[in-house]
A and B are shown apart, each in its own frame.
Chain A
Amino acid sequence: MKISLKMLGGLRVFLPTPGEFSRCDLQLSEGATINDVIAKVGLAPDRPFFVMFDGKKLQESDYATPLKDGDEVTMFPPIKGG
């Protein structure tokens, strides 16, 4: 299946496959979860992040959520100021 991955703010340079400015498509096997997306991105341990899915920010306990074709997952870093 194919999902859309958005990586916002400073994470956008870590898109796991070539894509647009801050978005790429990701091919995943059936039954893949958000944990699989996180593993595929492979951020270094010193790069904290949050995950948005279906319009809400997830808790880590939600990362086992199974995905389906066409889903959109968004990752963003702790960011502040402005």
Chain B
Amino acid sequence: MSWQRQILRVNLTTSKCTIEPLNMEWAQQYMGQRGLGSKYLLEEMDPAADALSPENKLIFATGPLTGTMASTGGRYSVITKGALTGAIACSNSGGKFGAELKFAGYDLVIIEGAAEKPVYLHIENDKVELLDAAHLWGKSVWEAEEIIHATHKNPQMRIASIGQAGEKLCRYACVVNDSHRAAGRSGVGTVMGSKGLKAIAVRGTKGVKPNGDAKAMFATVNRVNARMNDRDELSRDGTIAMMDVVNTFGAMPTRNNRQVQFEGAEKLNAEAMQTPNENGHTNLVTNAACFGCTVACGRICKIDPTHFSVKDKPQYHKASGGLEYETAYALGAACGVDDIDAATYAGFLCNEYGMDPISLGGSIAAAMELYEIGAITKEQTDGIELKFGSAEALCEITEKVGLGEGFGLDVAMGSKLLTAKYGHPDLSMAVKGQEFAAYDGRGMQGMGLAYATSNRGACHLRADPYSSDFETTDTAGKADIVRFSQDQTASIDSSGLCLFPGGAGWKMEDYCELINAACDGEWDMERFNQTGERTWNLERVFNLRAGLTKADDTLPKRILEEPATSGTAEGQVCRLDEMLPSYYELRGWNAEGVPSQETLSRLNIS
């Protein structure tokens, strides 16, 4: 079965919790997780509703392979209308929460309405209850997890919660589970905060069964796992191995995309993380795996206890989730900061307060540029010298954003609203209000198109133009590569599996084989690709109904008009105009980016 075939609906306005059968017709069309959650969202809410109103819904969705024996089968997504973007949001997380939710018997949990007073949702298989969270409100993710664990005295319980950032409606608040894994992007935690839902605590003991032939499932899992056996680079160095590659190539967004190479990258890379500093302190402690994962790319790190950020704060001397490449870029290169301990500290705070480090770093970088050009002054920044390169400023403003204090409230709006407030909207390095990930669209032309067309705003995980972009900056063929890989990543995001084995030896056929082994029905590559295409178009329909248009499929002026200053693409801008029209055409959309009736009918989208 793999699907549990039931959903949990929780109405926070009425405090009513009901268990309903999963719509299996939709499951067959959209698979699970991202696709299926998006289908329920579009069917159940008006996309034009305010993201922070009770009319918005918040869906926690697992995939058919979540909780199975398939490697990396621990993923879940949070789907909602994004608080940062006003577009459909789907943020994906690992850890162990998703599998536990599945073990409790649910494919989806649909949260609707808003609570009058803060609550948290407690799930133990069929026992479901909303409990008072007055004592948890105002607490960090880490504190809330500790208190909930102490209350229920069940060490096997898994918790997903928001921190102070979500409560105070920081626009890029995230949902954090298992202390340092997060559904990070687009402000899904902000929506959770607006509903007065502090946490979901779940324990499940029902298990997950594959479709019929468990032996066949075992055989498939063993076969595809063997492909990863000689590809251990992700476990050895983590995603931060990207730092040297992207920086050397010349696509490292640096100082709010003023440059594309960061001279301090060698102080933030895998070598820096693994090499003792002058005090004999090594940042990296060990690597870590999410549920069922044989890759284990996670970094568990410690901040040098003598570092200025923590020398008087022993609570941060423990090991916790360390820098991934995206975090190191956003809290490092984007802000011109080359201090690995400061970036690690700011990353810890993101987990503790519940903030997306990518949007936080992008917003701080925008604030730093506003400061450097004199658009904001020291009086407005609460006395912080908000200069590029200042590790002290990075740490101080991160604390203020997380706690919603002073100038931190401005930075918590995200770079789009922040730069508009101070009269320089062109300085927001974002698409649809969501800040760039760690690749510059001038050095990587396909990524520029992927950012511009991503349904949730700028994102590095919504397409796979990487190999093509490292091969050439010629835009020919990029539109098709982006379109095709958008569909395939949408299918992976709907399965319960992680995207990263794709960088560790797996091919798309391996994902498809696992889905076919686990799910009812025949799943071949044609169906796998079309399921992703259906999801992509459904998300597009949501966005159009939310009021987004072709005008939102663009990039900041800096990327389109200011040439890269060094690297492979020196002298080049992102030539989006060469790619976007053919992208629309390949998608079966009209020149305004609207799917044709023929396209929607072919995909069975009404």
User: Which of A's residues lie within 8 Å of B, judged by CB?
Assistant: 6, 8-10, 12-13, 20-22, 48, 50, 52, 55-57, 59, 74, 76-82
Contacts and interface: CB of A to CB of B under 8 A. Distances in A.
Contacts of B503: 79-81
A81 B470 contact: no
Contacts of B438: 82
Given A10-B233, A79-B466, A50 B241 contact: no
B470 A57 contact: yes
Nearest to A44: B230
A79 B245 contact: yes
A82 B325 contact: yes
B151 interface: no
Contacts of A76: 244-245, 248-249, 470
Contacts of A79: 241-242, 245, 466, 503
B241 A9 contact: yes
Interface string B110-129: 00000000000000000000
A82 B324 contact: yes
A33 B18 CA distance: 70
A27 to B, nearest CB: 23
B471 A50 contact: yes
A50 B239 CA distance: 18
Interface in B417-458: 437-438
A79 B244 CA distance: 11
Interface string B228-239: 000101101101
A5 B275 CA distance: 20
B499 A81 contact: yes
B334 to A, nearest CB: 13
A8 B270 CA distance: 10
A21 B275 contact: yes
Interface in B234-286: 234, 236-237, 239, 241-242, 244-245, 248-250, 270-271, 274-275
A22 B237 CA distance: 12
Nearest to A57: B568
A53 to B, nearest CB: 11
Q: Most chain-B CB neighbours within 10 Å: which of A48, A79, A80?
A: A80
Contacts, number: 84
B479 to A, nearest CB: 19
A22 B266 CA distance: 11
Nearest to B247: A8
Contacts of B308: none
Given A9-B237, A57-B568, A82 B460 contact: yes
Contact of A52 (B248, B329, B461): B248
Contacts of A20: 271
Given A57-B249, A76-B245, A21 B271 contact: yes
Contacts of A21: 270-271, 274-275
Q: Most chain-B CB neighbours within 10 Å: which of A9, A13, A20?
A: A9
B245 A81 contact: no
B500 interface: yes
Given A80-B467, A81-B461, A9 B245 contact: yes
A68 B271 CA distance: 28
B567 interface: yes
Given A6-B244, A22-B271, 14 more contacts: A6-B248, A9-B237, A10-B233, A20-B271, A21-B270, A50-B470, A50-B471, A55-B250, A56-B567, A57-B249, A57-B470, A78-B470, A80-B502, A81-B460
B566 A81 contact: no
A30 to B, nearest CB: 27
B242 A9 contact: yes
Nearest to B231: A10
Nearest to B567: A55
Q: Most chain-B CB neighbours within 10 Å: which of A6, A13, A21?
A: A21
B338 interface: no
Given A22-B271, A57-B470, A10 B464 contact: no
Contacts of A12: 237
A77 B241 CA distance: 11
